[in-house]
């Protein structure tokens, strides 16, 4: 599986992310197309080589006009929802802005829906977030880890006058994401835009560079060249080294990358495999809680949803416990529930399910339960409000235990079928066939689905 590590020792900003992506091989035209899809005033992305402390990287400049336009969270959300974007890119950008809206709401003591973005709502910052979402999605990264984030210190001037550094929005976004931070330098090293992209991309996975075979490195240059350190953001991309033991035998197997979502963070909502775009295959979401094995034959989630769900297999940051959000709903057309549950998963929920209940005066209703990591709370709450008729909700932290997961595939008469492997202390204890792959193979081979699932399961058992 393709994994990545962000070196944020010099901080991060939107243009540094774009530069690192271009330096890593992402076509600038791909990110430009995503920005153009917003339908705003003309915005141009231009890439050039730049040197910081003798080290070369790529600097991407965003050329956009200054316009007096309403940039409240609701307006930006409408813009993103109406744009012709890949769904993974749209959900990633919405996730980043939802984090910023929650942070600004907390800093100013207002409702998130009423947050008026100033610097972050400018066209260049919107282009940074959407371009980064499109670029990261195109790389096929299944898990992204970020280092400790250097945020800087001192003061800067914003639309409201002088503000302390790190900016309140930066601290709140990274705090909500459970990201480790350090001041280290006497200037603004991490911008709110940079913090939101880090939080959405890493989705709770922070630490030193994971063990990998490095395949490429992207270096993005910031606008300044301070004397304290090289103002560069590094994106290191490689193949995960993930040994899998057979039960009772010393055998090492490396997962094959065949387009299935792997364990992330992405979701890591900013992370998606290239083969998951526009497949045209039907999407099914189960209506019950996650099984004890952590997988379901009939479940295929969106890239963002699966990335968040698989992130649960990683150790959470200190104090960052998973959260269950609940609300009782008695007036929603029941035909809308499947779409509502799908929207919650797309917003970053690890799982979403319904429980039928009886409310006062004998009214039938449902309790919708949503399991998510802390960094997804804002996006999940927003999805609940937008896709159901609730006017409030409750939440509580829980303890969760999930097995480590790996992905491989088996071949049934020429048809590749994905298999999710669950491990306990490195030992394979469960293997689950991907339902959609088996269904496609059964249709092509003219066999009953149950026969193909049995064949694939038997082949998986032989491997492990």
In a domain, 248, yes or no: no
In a domain, 226, yes or no: yes
Choose among 338, 340, 395, 406: nearest CA to 372: 395
What was the pLDDT predicted at 271?
45
> What percent of the chain is modeled with pLDDT above 90?
53
Torsional class of 443: left (φ above 0), alpha (ψ -120 to 50), beta (otherwise):
alpha
Position 200 pLDDT exceeds 80: yes
Which of 397, 415, 438 is the last residue in one of the domains? Answer: 397
In a domain, 270, yes or no: no
In a domain, 417, yes or no: yes
Position 252 pLDDT exceeds 60: no
Model confidence pLDDT, tens digit, residues 416-463? 898 888 888 778 888 888 898 899 999 999 999 999 999 998 888 887
Overall residue count recorded for the chain in this entry: 464
Torsional class of 422: left (φ above 0), alpha (ψ -120 to 50), beta (otherwise):
beta
Q: 175 and 217 share a domain?
A: yes
Residue 190 · residue 166 · CB < 8 Å: yes
Across the beta sheet with 415-424, the strand order is: 404-412, 415-424, 427-433
Q: 380 and 417 share a domain?
A: no
Position 137 pLDDT exceeds 60: yes
Choose among 362, 361, 372: nearest CA to 321: 372
- Distance CA(198)–CA(14), nearest Å, equals 10
Which of 397, 422, 441 is the last residue in one of the domains? Answer: 397
Would strands 364-372 and 323-329 be described as parallel, antiparallel, or unpaired? antiparallel
Q: 138 and 226 share a domain?
A: yes
Q: 410 and 367 share a domain?
A: no
Reduced to 3 states (helix: H, G, I; strand: E, B; else coil), residue 82 is helix
Q: 390 and 411 share a domain?
A: no
In a domain, 122, yes or no: yes
Would strands 2-7 and 232-240 be described as parallel, antiparallel, or unpaired? antiparallel
Residue 356 · residue 364 · CB < 8 Å: yes
Q: Which CATH number fits the domain that encloses residue 356?
A: 3.30.70.1380
Q: 224 and 368 share a domain?
A: no
What range does the domain containing 37 cover?
2-239
Q: 211 and 334 share a domain?
A: no
Q: Residue 195 is inside which H or E element, if any?
A: helix 192-202
* CA–CA distances in Å: residue 413 to residues 264, 298, 356, 449, 453: 31, 22, 43, 14, 13
Query: Which pair of structure tokens corresponds to residue 368?
Result: 């919708």
Distance of CA 86 to the CA centre of its chain: 14
Q: 342 and 455 share a domain?
A: no
* CA–CA distances in Å: residue 286 to residues 105, 354, 370: 33, 10, 13
Position 294 pLDDT exceeds 50: no
In a domain, 250, yes or no: no
Q: 78 and 150 share a domain?
A: yes
Q: Which CATH number fits the domain that encloses residue 459?
A: 3.10.20.300
Q: 230 and 339 share a domain?
A: no
Choose among 73, 67, 78: nearest CA to 41: 67
Query: Which pair of structure tokens corresponds to residue 34?
Result: 């995503």
- Distance CA(212)–CA(3), nearest Å, equals 8
Q: 451 and 374 share a domain?
A: no
Model confidence pLDDT, tens digit, residues 175-198? 999 999 999 999 999 999 999 999
What was the pLDDT predicted at 195?
97
- Distance CA(339)–CA(359), nearest Å, equals 23
- Distance CA(407)–CA(126), nearest Å, equals 35
- Distance CA(388)–CA(229), nearest Å, equals 49
Residue 237 · residue 2 · CB < 8 Å: yes
In a domain, 313, yes or no: no
In a domain, 288, yes or no: no
Reduced to 3 states (helix: H, G, I; strand: E, B; else coil), residue 370 is strand
Q: 126 and 235 share a domain?
A: yes
Choose among 131, 199, 191: nearest CA to 163: 191
Matching residue, tokens 């350190």: 229
Position 308 pLDDT exceeds 60: no
* CA–CA distances in Å: residue 8 to residues 183, 190, 288, 377: 12, 9, 39, 24
Give how many domains the chain has, as a whole number.
3
Model confidence pLDDT, tens digit, residues 27-64? 999 999 999 999 988 999 999 999 999 999 999 999 98
Which of 397, 430, 447 is the last residue in one of the domains? Answer: 397
């Amino acid at each position: 599986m393709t994994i990545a590590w962000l070196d944020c020792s010099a901080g991060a900003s939107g243009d540094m992310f774009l530069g690192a992506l271009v330096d890593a091989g992402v076509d600038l035209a791909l990110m430009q197309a995503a920005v153009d899809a917003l339908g705003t005033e003309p915005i141009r992305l231009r890439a050039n080589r730049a040197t910081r402390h003798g080290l070369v990287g790529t600097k991407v400049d965003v050329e956009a006009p200054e316009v007096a336009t309403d940039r409240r969270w609701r307006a930006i959300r409408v813009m993103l929802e109406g744009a012709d974007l890949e769904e993974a890119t749209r959900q990633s950008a919405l996730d980043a802005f939802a984090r910023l809206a929650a942070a600004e709401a907390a800093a100013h003591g207002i409702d998130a829906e009423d947050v008026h973005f100033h610097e972050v709502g400018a066209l260049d910052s919107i282009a940074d977030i959407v371009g980064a979402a499109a670029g990261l999605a195109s790389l096929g990264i299944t898990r992204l880890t970020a280092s400790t984030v250097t945020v800087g210190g001192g003061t800067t001037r914003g639309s409201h006058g002088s503000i302390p550094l790190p900016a309140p929005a930066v601290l709140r976004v990274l705090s909500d994401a459970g990201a480790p931070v350090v001041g280290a330098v006497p200037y603004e090293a991490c911008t709110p835009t940079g913090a939101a992209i880090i939080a959405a991309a890493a989705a709770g996975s922070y630490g030193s560079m994971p063990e990998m075979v490095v395949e490429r490195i992207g270096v993005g240059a910031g606008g300044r060249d301070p004397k304290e350190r090289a103002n560069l953001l590094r994106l290191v991309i490689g193949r995960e080294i993930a040994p899998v033991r057979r039960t009772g035998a010393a055998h090492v197997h490396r997962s094959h990358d065949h387009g299935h979502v792997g364990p992330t963070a992405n979701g890591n909502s900013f992370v998606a495999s290239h083969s998951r775009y526009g497949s045209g295959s039907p999407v099914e979401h189960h209506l019950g809680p996650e099984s004890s094995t952590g997988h379901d034959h009939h479940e295929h989630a969106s890239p963002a949803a699966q990335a968040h769900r698989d992130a649960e297999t990683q150790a959470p940051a200190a104090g960052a416990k998973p959260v269950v959000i609940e609300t009782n709903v008695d007036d929603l057309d029941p035909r809308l529930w499947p779409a509502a549950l799908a929207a919650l998963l797309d917003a970053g929920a690890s799982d979403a399910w319904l429980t039928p209940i009886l409310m006062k005066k004998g009214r039938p209703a449902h309790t919708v339960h949503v399991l998510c990591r802390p960094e997804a709370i804002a996006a999940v709450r927003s999805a609940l409000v937008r896709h159901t008729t609730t006017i409030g909700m409750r939440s509580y932290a829980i303890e969760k235990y999930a097995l480590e997961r790996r992905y491989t595939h088996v071949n049934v008469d020429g048809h590749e079928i994905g298999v999710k492997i669950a491990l306990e202390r490195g030992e394979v204890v469960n293997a689950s066939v991907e339902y959609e792959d088996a269904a496609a193979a059964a249709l092509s081979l003219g066999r009953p689905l149950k026969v193909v699932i049995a064949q694939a399961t038997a082949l998986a058992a032989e491997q492990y």
